[in-house]
Every structure is written in C-alpha cells, then in structure tokens.
Structure 1
Amino acid sequence: MRRVDLRKSKDFFEDLAKTIKEAKINEVLVILFEIGDFSAVEKSFSFVKEQGCELLNSLKFNQVDWTIVIKKV
C-alpha cells in the first residue's frame, strides 16, 4: 500500500494517471487530493475505472481534502 499526496497538484487527473501508470499490478494506492467542488470527486470515480483500477473506498478526509483508495488490477 502506498500513500500519494496530490493536494498541491496543478492538474490532478494528469498526475493521477501518471501515478496509476507507475503502480504495480494489485498495488493499493491511497490518493489524497483537494476538492474545490464535488465534481472532482465524482469524476475521479469514473476516471479510476477507465484507468483499469478498482475503487475500494472514498471518504472526506477533512473540510477541504478527499481520499480515494484504489487497487490497480
């Protein structure tokens, strides 16, 4: 399991795609990112699936941060 902090990312989805590409098969990633509005959270669910990963969990970390737990399959 690896924790990846993308809270300061300029382009969250580009950085997320790069992180997923570098991950090993069956590796679990805990991705932390900032939410301005909820649309990034909803989009991340379908984006993760398109990248060949399984969404294991999604939760609000605090008032401005969100966490998704994914597994590369």
Structure 2
Amino acid sequence: MKRYDLRHLKSEFEPRMKEILETHGAGEVAIFLFEIGDFSPIQKSADLVKKSGYELMNSLKFNEVDWTIVAKKV
C-alpha cells in the first residue's frame, strides 16, 4: 500500500495519477490525496481508476478542500 499526495498539483493531478496507476501490480493498493475545488475531479478520478483496471475501494472527503481515494489493482 502506497500513499500519494497530489495536492500540490491542484486541478492538474490527473496525468500524475494515471502515471502512478500504470506502475502498480495486481493486488496493490494506492491511496491518493488531492484537492477537490469544485468537486468535478471526484468523478474524473473515479473514472480514471476504473479505466486503469482498479477497484475503487473508498472515496471520501478528507477535510474542507481535500479528497482521498483508495484503489486496488485487480
């Protein structure tokens, strides 16, 4: 299980998230922390997780501006 803090990328976190998802092997879990802003990144990140062959295990608001997604490679 690895945790990735993508908050510093603001709304431009998707390319880096995709890059990370492509490196994991079957059964590995990735935890992503990113800034949500207007909530549109939440659906985009969930779609990216599914498209990358991962199971979305958890998605929750971490605090007022941050969101956490937990995904497992299937």
| TM-score of Structure 1 vs Structure 2, range by shorter chain | over 0.9
Residues 21-73 of structure 1: per-residue CA shift (max 9 Å, x gap): 11122100110000111110011111110111110000000000000000011
Alignment correspondent of 2:5:
5
Report the Cα offset of residue 18 of structure 1. 0.6
Q: Which amino acid aligns with 2:72?
A: K
- After TM superposition, list the pairs within 5 Å mapping 1:1-73 onto structure 2: 1-9=1-9, 11-73=12-74
Distance, in Å, in 2 between the alignment partners of 1:66 and 1:21 is 21
Q: What is the alpha-carbon root mean square deviation over aligned residues?
A: 1.1
CA distance in 1, matches of 2:47, 2:21: 14
Distance 1:54 1:70 in 2: 5
Identity %: 53
Q: How far does residue 7 in structure 1 lie from its aligned partner after superposition?
A: 0.6
Query: Counterpart of 1:20 in structure 2: which amino acid?
Result: L
The alignment's TM-score, normalised by the length of structure 2, stands at 0.91
Give unmatched runs, 5+ long, in structure 1: none
Give the secondary structure class of the aligned counterpart of 2:37: coil
CA distance in 2 between counterparts of 1:61 and 1:21 reads 25
